[in-house]
Chain A
Amino acid sequence: MVSEGKKRVWEDYQKEIADDHYFYVRSCIRQTFFPGSETAFLRIMRNDLGKDVFEDARHTTCTGIGYHTDIVPLETTMTIIARHFALMTEAGYTNIIPSCVTSFGLYTEVLDTWKHFPEMEAKIRDYLWKATKKEFKVPENLVHTSDIIYKFRDQIKEKSKISLVNKKTGLPLKVVEHIGCHYAKMFPATGIGGAEFPSVLTGMIESWGGSVIDYPERRHCCGFGFRQYLVMANRGYSVSNSKKKFESMQPYQPDFIVANCPGCSMFLDRWQYTIAELEGITFDDKGMGIPVLTYEEMAGLVMGYSPWELGLQMHQVSVEPLLDKLGIAYKKEEKYLGAHGQNIGEPQKPQFLIV
């Protein structure tokens, strides 16, 4: 494989990312799936990088899951997203940064639709006014929060406490990067590195000392796929897609997987448990599975944050083998202590997956 070829592709797909003053919109599902991730993002941005990040509690779902499953009509989705833009406008911001890849994709799709069909934008403005008496300006800068971390990857490196290097061997950790489909597959020009060879996570990994695995099913969907999972009868298809990826990455012996999408992080983690229970197999050599991180969790670890404060105890696949490789000290007895020191209870142990 010729890495120079990839770099040439990356040069074609760079985009403007605002330097400061962001209107942050959270994901619907990440706070339950990986509750420490968004908190870690805000901590890095505000405390470590000194950036202005604003949130509005009135922000709601973008309807992405409903939209992609044909439950929510397009005009409704657009009006709700227009309301988000109105909240941003009211707060005096022009740069909007969704935490969710599907929201980012949907915002991009809405803005692109309005560009080609201005009459649609006029209609949505009318709907929004009738429903809420709100008006809005379209964002000047729309990027995903992984783009933001990518932008500041070198500043994060300067402040980092550890590298993505195996402490014992001194070798770079081998990382599988997984990009959510809605990040760039719909609009390749909106993704750093494009749709075929995205560099948004690769940039972080390589900047922080790790090495990236390019395996045959790298571009394949994680298996979530909305309809595949949400329709219960299709869940076997969802699992089979994830399994296809795991089998493809297994020969490379990855140390961990990192993803920039709420669903991908969730399903690449949880389906390892499901496959282990269904078939008695894992995709590592110790029966523990391959740890899965969000990019904020990866950044948090690099910055020296406590793994339990990052919420890594919420992962199905145990992260301790990864922490050991990184040389991160942790106390097992603190794993299931909540934010105020109370015991939040240990999950039931799986039958096959070793935790």
Chain B
Amino acid sequence: MNNITQHIIIIGGGPAGLEAASSLGAAGYKVTVLEKEEQTGGKLRLWYKLFPDFRPSAEVQEYLANGQKMNSPEIITKAEVISITPEIDYQKVILADGQIFTADVVLIATGFQVFNAEKKEEYGYKIYDNVITSVDLEQQLKSGDAVKTVAGEIPQRIAFIHCVGSRDKKVGNIHCSRVCCITGVKQAIEVKEHLPKAEIFNFYMDMRMFGQNFEELYIEAQQKWGITFIRGRVSEIAENIDGTLQLKAEDTLSGRPMKMNFDLVVLLVGMVPAVGTDAIGKSAGLAFTAGNFLASNDTHFNQNETHTPGIFVTGTCREPLSVAETLTDARAATVRIISWLRDKELKSNN
């Protein structure tokens, strides 16, 4: 097969990068995955269970690992890419340690990082002990221990705050991170399962239940689990003398300001592009969305191809996506890459 000689570099070994690597490997291409961390898996490794069906994150990791076993892409860890230089007939990828790789195609799958909640100063993350993020909570759930306050007590009242770092011009992020709403519902149910006596409140702007079974889970959270949803932004959090938290918000449905005490507050942090994506994108002359994600060259017909020939994007480096959407997007990118390589080959043969 001619295409065996064609080489694809995938930058990022998270769900998008690994799924694309498996698909491209299965199609017979030579694939190299450059992962900057010591191990692949991306942010999936931080998660305990996934919405909307509470599938253990480990199952998806296992699925991705099986894909690697079957298709054996070359995976290089601790490989931090700093730039891509598009040449006439190939792409040059440069690493922070000076190594240079070349390939016919580069697929960028650098993923996301969670919004730094410290920027929302009014919530006091990393100042008030019992303000944690959804990632911190996921780690607590993953550990198998009961959810506890810093003092080691069982929290009686817990608040989830939606849209932390999303749809928030004040912190420079106007984009919706999409998955935080359903994450808030999922985590509220998980906590309620652990702590049936706890009172749980979710403070939201809108509940964007776009995915399959999302709305059903949202209704279940209210009807089966008794979780309260309050439509209103939280203006500030402060610490009481006993370490509990005072939270101020507005209930916009009743039109009244409210002040409540909580034992634990969970900030549902949004997605922002991973560190390094900006530099990589700029080096290759790529365009960016308003939220600084990598822009594709068409929002309807071609979400994985960029304006620079031979450079493709997939996963959450181009927009916030769920795990399921990320895997689908990676497969879509695979199809576009194969199509592009075949076109290129046909043109060169002619």
Residue ranges of A at the interface with B (Cβ–Cβ < 8 Å): 1-2, 4-6, 8-9, 194-197, 214-219, 251-252
Known contacts being A215-B241, A216-B239, A219-B236, is A196 close to B118, with CB within 8 Å? Answer: no
Known contacts being A1-B127, A2-B129, A5-B126, is A194 close to B121, with CB within 8 Å? Answer: yes
Bound: A219/B246 CA distance, A: 12
Residues in A whose Cβ lies below 8 Å from that of B128: 1-2
The one of A1, A9, A215 in contact with B129, judged by C-beta atoms closer than 8 angstroms, is A1
Bound: A214/B238 CA distance, A: 9
Bound: A218/B239 CA distance, A: 10
Q: A215 CB to closest chain B CB, in angstroms? A: 7
The one of A1, A9, A251 in contact with B239, judged by C-beta atoms closer than 8 angstroms, is A1
Q: B18 CB to closest chain A CB, in angstroms? A: 35
Residues in B whose Cβ lies below 8 Å from that of A214: 238-239
| B66 at the A interface (CB under 8 A) | no
Tell which of A196, A216, A252 has the most Cβ of chain B within 10 Å: A216
Q: A241 CB to closest chain B CB, in angstroms? A: 13
| B252 at the A interface (CB under 8 A) | no
Say whether B121 contacts A251, CB under 8 Å.
no
Bound: A252/B128 CA distance, A: 17
Apart from A5-B125, A6-B127, A8-B118, 12 more pairs, CB < 8 Å = A2-B126, A2-B128, A5-B124, A8-B126, A9-B118, A194-B121, A196-B122, A197-B121, A197-B127, A215-B241, A216-B246, A219-B236
Q: A205 CB to closest chain B CB, in angstroms? A: 18
Bound: A194/B239 CA distance, A: 18
* Inter-chain residue pair count (beta carbon < 8 A): 43
| B222 at the A interface (CB under 8 A) | no
Residues in B whose Cβ lies below 8 Å from that of A9: 118, 121, 127
Question: In the complex, which residue of chain B has the Cβ closest to the Cβ of A196?
Answer: B121
The one of A2, A195, A251 in contact with B127, judged by C-beta atoms closer than 8 angstroms, is A2
Bound: A1/B118 CA distance, A: 14
Say whether B238 contacts A216, CB under 8 Å.
yes
Q: What is the number of residues of chain B that contact chain A, defined by CB distance less than 8 Å?
A: 15
Residues in A whose Cβ lies below 8 Å from that of B241: 215, 251-252
Tell which of A1, A196, A215 has the most Cβ of chain B within 10 Å: A196
Question: In the complex, which residue of chain B has the Cβ closest to the Cβ of A249?
Answer: B241
Query: Which of chain B's residues 225-239 have a Cβ closer than 8 Å to chain A?
Result: 236, 238-239
Residue ranges of B at the interface with A (Cβ–Cβ < 8 Å): 118, 121-122, 124-129, 236, 238-241, 246
Question: In the complex, which residue of chain A has the Cβ closest to the Cβ of B246?
Answer: A216
Bound: A214/B240 CA distance, A: 9
Say whether B121 contacts A216, CB under 8 Å.
no
Question: In the complex, which residue of chain A has the Cβ closest to the Cβ of B238?
Answer: A216
Q: Which 7 A-B pairs have the closest CB atoms?
A: A5-B127, A196-B121, A5-B126, A216-B238, A216-B246, A251-B241, A196-B122
Residues in A whose Cβ lies below 8 Å from that of B240: 216
Question: In the complex, which residue of chain B has the Cβ closest to the Cβ of A3?
Answer: B127
Tell which of A9, A194, A195 has the most Cβ of chain B within 10 Å: A9
Residues in B whose Cβ lies below 8 Å from that of A217: 238, 246
15 contacts across the A-B interface (CB closer than 8 A)? A1-B129, A2-B126, A4-B126, A5-B118, A9-B121, A196-B236, A197-B121, A197-B127, A214-B239, A215-B238, A216-B240, A216-B246, A218-B238, A251-B241, A252-B241
Residues in B whose Cβ lies below 8 Å from that of A197: 121, 127
Q: B157 CB to closest chain A CB, in angstroms? A: 15
Residues in B whose Cβ lies below 8 Å from that of A2: 126-129
Q: A354 CB to closest chain B CB, in angstroms? A: 26
Question: In the complex, which residue of chain A has the Cβ closest to the Cβ of B236?
Answer: A219
Bound: A195/B246 CA distance, A: 18
Q: A253 CB to closest chain B CB, in angstroms? A: 10
Bound: A252/B239 CA distance, A: 12
Bound: A197/B127 CA distance, A: 10
Residues in B whose Cβ lies below 8 Å from that of A8: 118, 126
Residues in A whose Cβ lies below 8 Å from that of B236: 196, 219
Question: In the complex, which residue of chain B has the Cβ closest to the Cβ of A9?
Answer: B121
Bound: A2/B118 CA distance, A: 12
Residues in A whose Cβ lies below 8 Å from that of B238: 214-219
Question: In the complex, which residue of chain B has the Cβ closest to the Cβ of A7?
Answer: B127
Bound: A196/B122 CA distance, A: 6
Q: A119 CB to closest chain B CB, in angstroms? A: 25
Bound: A154/B297 CA distance, A: 57
Q: A233 CB to closest chain B CB, in angstroms? A: 21
Residues in B whose Cβ lies below 8 Å from that of A1: 127-129, 239
Bound: A216/B236 CA distance, A: 10
Tell which of B122, B124, B239, B240 has the most Cβ of chain A within 10 Å: B124
Bound: A19/B225 CA distance, A: 61
Residues in B whose Cβ lies below 8 Å from that of A215: 238, 241
Bound: A197/B118 CA distance, A: 12
Bound: A5/B246 CA distance, A: 18
Bound: A2/B150 CA distance, A: 12
Tell which of A1, A5, A197, A252 has the most Cβ of chain B within 10 Å: A5
Bound: A75/B141 CA distance, A: 58
Q: B264 CB to closest chain A CB, in angstroms? A: 15
Residues in B whose Cβ lies below 8 Å from that of A251: 241
Bound: A321/B129 CA distance, A: 34
Residues in A whose Cβ lies below 8 Å from that of B121: 9, 194-197
Question: In the complex, which residue of chain A has the Cβ closest to the Cβ of B242?
Answer: A251
Residues in A whose Cβ lies below 8 Å from that of B125: 5
Q: B237 CB to closest chain A CB, in angstroms? A: 9
Bound: A4/B125 CA distance, A: 11
Tell which of B121, B129, B239, B246 has the most Cβ of chain A within 10 Å: B121
Q: A219 CB to closest chain B CB, in angstroms? A: 6
Question: In the complex, which residue of chain A has the Cβ closest to the Cβ of B235?
Answer: A219
Bound: A6/B128 CA distance, A: 10
Residues in B whose Cβ lies below 8 Å from that of A194: 121
Bound: A177/B246 CA distance, A: 19
Q: B306 CB to closest chain A CB, in angstroms? A: 34
Residues in A whose Cβ lies below 8 Å from that of B239: 1, 214, 216
Bound: A196/B118 CA distance, A: 12
Question: In the complex, which residue of chain B has the Cβ closest to the Cβ of A244?
Answer: B259
Q: A225 CB to closest chain B CB, in angstroms? A: 15
Residues in A whose Cβ lies below 8 Å from that of B122: 196
Question: In the complex, which residue of chain B has the Cβ closest to the Cβ of A193?
Answer: B121
